[in-house]
Amino acid sequence: MNDADLLRYSRHILLPEVDLDGQEKLLKARVAIIGLGGLGSPVALYLAASGIGEITLVDGDIVDLGNLQRQIVHTEADLAHTKVDSAAHALSQINSGLKIIPVAQRITGEALDTLVSAVDAVVDCTDNFETRLEINRACVQGRKPLISGAAIRLEGQLLTVDPNVSDSPCYQCLYGKDALVQQDCATTGVIAPIVGVIGSLLALETLRVLLGIAQEHTGQLTTFDGRTSRWHQFKFKKRADCPICAVPSAP
């Protein structure tokens, strides 16, 4: 780190959980953020400000007026632009030293596997259940930490999947092998600050994982009820029949 970095990240460096070595880890870290909407906005902003060295932004949508109620990385000037370009511009204004890789399309299959293999952690900020399952599969198979969040109405949730932790369950374990959840804020609605609450927590969890200070961070679902401002945590275990992370029985 140079003198400018020492000044920029001085509040991090003062923390014993981070220090110089931890900030160096963040500066070398590569993170993929999939989804640049309500959740992805605060995640991208905070990770850029925190000094993550390389961020891959993945989203196939363009900015429209209905996004601006909650997607704070975008502005009226970004209407009709791709979300990845809009977000990339905002992040570059915060941290010019950040390397940004924009991917303006939805990726699946081998392309997703390739992306996952090139980063140190993946933050899932999508609003589609099938996409979340596909990202979970890629992260489990690629043995990369996955930090996943969701928000709808006045409710939010977060969980971390870390295939490098023994017996860590995955996202599929939480819902079962045949689950299909069809809900999105376009039809159900979402209060604007709830995505900021969960998005900020996603960014914090990502930093904890990258710094190696996350403890007991797998096998639990954290939920937030915005009506009562109450948090809850629910434990869950790896499913023996999970098609993604279960170890096949010996023949």
* Domain spans, the chain: 3-235
Q: What is the pLDDT of residue 88?
A: 98
Say which residues have a Cβ less than 8 Å from residue 165's Cβ, sequence separation at least 6.
218
List average pLDDT for each run of 10 residues in the chain, which is 251 residues long: 94 96 97 97 98 97 96 97 97 96 95 97 94 96 96 95 92 76 70 96 97 90 96 93 74 41
Q: What is the pLDDT of residue 251?
A: 41
160 pairs with which residues across the strands?
147, 218
Q: What is the pLDDT of residue 249?
A: 45
Is residue 110 classed as helix, strand or coil in its secondary structure?
helix
Integer CA distances (angstroms), 89 to 42, 98, 103, in order = 14, 11, 14
Helix (H) or strand (E) holding 185: helix 185-188
Separation of alpha carbons 29 and 17, rounded Å: 16
Q: What is the pLDDT of residue 179?
A: 56
Q: What is the pLDDT of residue 250?
A: 39
Q: What is the pLDDT of residue 181?
A: 58
Tokens of 130: 């099938």
Which class does domain 3-235 fall in? Answer: alpha beta
Task: Identify the active-site residue in 170, 173, 185, 242.
Answer: 185
Q: What is the pLDDT of residue 167?
A: 86
Specify whether 185 is catalytic: yes
CA atoms within 13 A on the CB side of 169: 21
pTM: 0.94
